[in-house]
Chain A
C-alpha cells in the first residue's frame, strides 16, 4: 500500500471518530489539529456548494486556531476536552471578529465585538471554529428556507429541506462538514432539523446553558443546544457549554453532571411514558420506526407506560402568540442606529421604518406584526395573556406525566423531511412543530435522535423529554437505545467522509 493510499484511508475515518476521540488523538499527538481542520475545510469547499449549510467559512481563522492547538501540544501544555475538534456554529451566536448575520439583511456584514458565552466555553476547551451555519432568518422557521442568503438543502435528498431553524448546523453535521455544531432551539429548532438530517440534538432545560451572546428571539424559550453525529458527542458538547454565567440572569446555578459518563450506563428501570395520540397522528413510516424503538426499549428492561398530554395540541396556538410577542419586543433593537443596516431617510422615524422594512424578510416582518398585534391595546388579554395561561396548562400536563414516568417518548416530527416549498403557507409550516413545541413551552429538557429510516429512505427522529435539569437519565436512555437499535451514526449517501 502506498503512503498516499494509507493517508487517504486514515483520513476517511477521521470524520467517523467521536469528538472525544478526535480530541484524544490530537492531545496524544497522533492526529494533527491542522490536518484535521484542513480535511473538513476541503470537504466544505467540495460539498457545500450544493448544501449551502455554511454562511461564512473562516478558513484562515480555523487553521490558526488549529495551529495553536498543535503548538500547545508540542510545548507540553495540557489540552482541553475538545482539542482540535472542528465545529460549526449557528449564525445567531456571536463570534468576536467573525461575521454574525442571523441570515438577515439587517445584520449583513455585522462583526460582533465579543464571543457568546458558549463560544468562549468551546474555545477554552480547544475547539476549532470552522465557520457559521445557515438558519431561518433570526431562527424563525422550520425549514431554513427563510434565510436571506439562500436555503440550505438536506444531504439525504437535495429536493428536501434540512429542517429548521438550525438547518445549516444539522446538514453540516450529517454531511461531515463539521464534527458537530451548536444550534439554538426556541420551539424545536435543534431537534426537528436533527430529525430530518439523521443526527442527534439536545435542547437543554431552560436555564441550563447561558444565552449571553445568542441573538435573542423569544427570551422565555430560547436555549442553545448541541447537534452531533450521535448521543455521546452531543453529551460531550453539552458538558462543555452547560453551567452558570452571571451575564445571563436566567442561567441557573446548579451543578453540571458528567453527561458523557451517562453513555454506557444501564437504563434498566427507567419508566418511559408513551404519548400514544402523538404516534397515531404520524405518517406511517414514522409510526413504524417509533414502534420499533419502543420494542427496543422494552428489550432494555425499561417499563413503558401510556401517558397523556391533554393540552399539547394547543401548543401551536400558544407558541405562535408567545414567541412572536417576545420577538416583536426583542427585534425592536434593530433600528439602524448602533449596528447593522441603515437605510437613510428624511428623519429618524422614517429611517427606522425603511431600515426595518428592507432589512427584515417576509417571515420576520409577519411575526413582528403578529406579536405587536397580540401585545397591543385591546388584544393583550385575548391573545398574550390567554396563551400564557394555556402555557401553564401545558406545564401542568408535563408535571402530571412525570409523576408516572421518568422520560416521555414522542416522534420529533410527524413526517420525514418534506420537500422544499411544501409548506409555503405559514400556518401550514407552523403546524409541523406540533411535537417539539410542548417541551419548549414547559421549559423541560428534550432531545431528538434517529431511530431508523422511513419513507424514501429518509431518517426518522425520536424525541425523548425529561423533567427540567434531568438531562442525565435522558442521555443514558438515548445512548442505550442508540446501541440497541444499532442504526447509528447514519451517513447520507455520498457523504461518507472520503476526502
Chain B
C-alpha cells in the first residue's frame, strides 16, 4: 500500500467531483501526506488471515422484500421542489450540460 502522489490525489478528487485547482501547493501537499498516512495505516488489515472468508456487505443476510405494486402516499412535487436552488416549468433548472446552441 504505497504512498499517494500528487497526481493520485488530483485523480481521486476528479473522480469525486471535488475541486483542487483553487488550493495552494502547500495545502495540496498536506492533503497528500495526510491521505497517505491514513492509507498506510490500513496495512493493519494485512495481519488478518481472510483466506476463504466471505465479505460482509450487510450485518445479516436479508432478502429484498417485494410489496404490492400500488400507488402509496408520496410527497407532492411542489413540496419536494421547494428546496431546489432553481426550478423552471416544474423541473429542476441546471447549468448547460452540452456545448453549442440548443
Chain B proximity of A199: nearest CB distance (Å): 26
Q: Which of A14-22, A128-136, A345-353 contacts B (4 or more CB under 8 A)?
A: A345-353
A382 on interface, CB distance cutoff 8 Å? yes
| Residues in chain A near residue B71, CB distance under 8 A | none
Interface centre among B1, B4, B50 (most CB of A within 10 A): B50
A43 on interface, CB distance cutoff 8 Å? no
| Residues in chain B near residue A6, CB distance under 8 A | none
Q: Which of A79-87, A162-170, A230-238, A334-342 contacts B (4 or more CB under 8 A)?
A: A334-342
A476 on interface, CB distance cutoff 8 Å? no
The residue in chain A whose Cβ has the minimal distance to the Cβ of B43 is A317
Once the chains are docked, how many angstroms separate the CA of A189 from the CA of B64?
28
A376: contacting residue among B12, B55, B84, CB under 8 A: B12
Cβ B42 vs Cβ A320 within 8 A: yes
A370 on interface, CB distance cutoff 8 Å? yes
Chain A proximity of B14: nearest CB distance (Å): 8
Interface centre among B13, B16, B95 (most CB of A within 10 A): B16
B12: contacting residue among A111, A321, A369, CB under 8 A: A369
Cβ B18 vs Cβ A426 within 8 A: no
Cβ B42 vs Cβ A317 within 8 A: yes
Q: Report the count of interface residues on B (CB-CB < 8 A).
A: 52
| Residues in chain B near residue A335, CB distance under 8 A | 17
The residue in chain B whose Cβ has the minimal distance to the Cβ of A317 is B44
Cβ B45 vs Cβ A317 within 8 A: yes
* Residues of chain A from 306 to 348 with CB closer than 8 A to chain B in the complex: 311, 314, 316-318, 320-321, 328, 332, 335-342, 344-348
B89 on interface, CB distance cutoff 8 Å? no
Cβ B39 vs Cβ A373 within 8 A: yes
Cβ A314 vs Cβ B12 within 8 A: no
B-contact bits for A90-132, CB 8 A (1 contact / 0 none): 0000000000000000000011111000000000000000000
Cβ A390 vs Cβ B48 within 8 A: yes
Cβ A357 vs Cβ B19 within 8 A: yes
A-contact bits for B18-39, CB 8 A (1 contact / 0 none): 1110100000000100110111
| Residues in chain B near residue A113, CB distance under 8 A | 75, 79-80, 82-83
Once the chains are docked, how many angstroms separate the CA of A357 from the CA of B75?
30
Interface of A is mostly: helix
B-contact bits for A225-267, CB 8 A (1 contact / 0 none): 0000000000000000000001001101000000000000000
Cβ A395 vs Cβ B59 within 8 A: yes
B-contact bits for A440-454, CB 8 A (1 contact / 0 none): 011110000000000
Cβ A220 vs Cβ B12 within 8 A: no
Once the chains are docked, how many angstroms separate the CA of A353 from the CA of B95?
13
Interface centre among B4, B41, B84, B85 (most CB of A within 10 A): B85
Interface centre among B13, B56, B81 (most CB of A within 10 A): B56
Once the chains are docked, how many angstroms separate the CA of A421 from the CA of B34?
17
Cβ B79 vs Cβ A386 within 8 A: no
Cβ B75 vs Cβ A337 within 8 A: no
Cβ A353 vs Cβ B19 within 8 A: yes
Cβ A369 vs Cβ B18 within 8 A: yes
* Residues of chain A from 368 to 394 with CB closer than 8 A to chain B in the complex: 368-370, 372-373, 376, 382-383, 385-393
| Residues in chain B near residue A385, CB distance under 8 A | 55
User: 17 other contacts beyond A351-B94, A427-B38, with CB at 8 A cut-off?
Assistant: A114-B79, A207-B60, A246-B67, A320-B38, A339-B83, A342-B85, A347-B97, A348-B95, A348-B96, A368-B16, A369-B12, A372-B15, A372-B16, A373-B4, A389-B48, A390-B45, A426-B34
A–B pairs, 11, beta carbons within 8 Å = A337-B94, A347-B96, A348-B96, A356-B16, A356-B17, A368-B18, A372-B12, A372-B16, A373-B35, A389-B55, A395-B56
Interface residues of A (CB under 8 A from B): 110-114, 206-207, 220, 246, 249-250, 252, 311, 314, 316-318, 320-321, 328, 332, 335-342, 344-349, 351-354, 356-357, 360, 365-366, 368-370, 372-373, 376, 382-383, 385-393, 395, 426-427, 430, 441-444, 468
Interface residues of B (CB under 8 A from A): 1, 4, 8-9, 12-13, 15-20, 22, 31, 34-35, 37-39, 41-42, 44-45, 47-48, 50, 53-60, 62, 64-65, 67, 75, 79-86, 92, 94-97
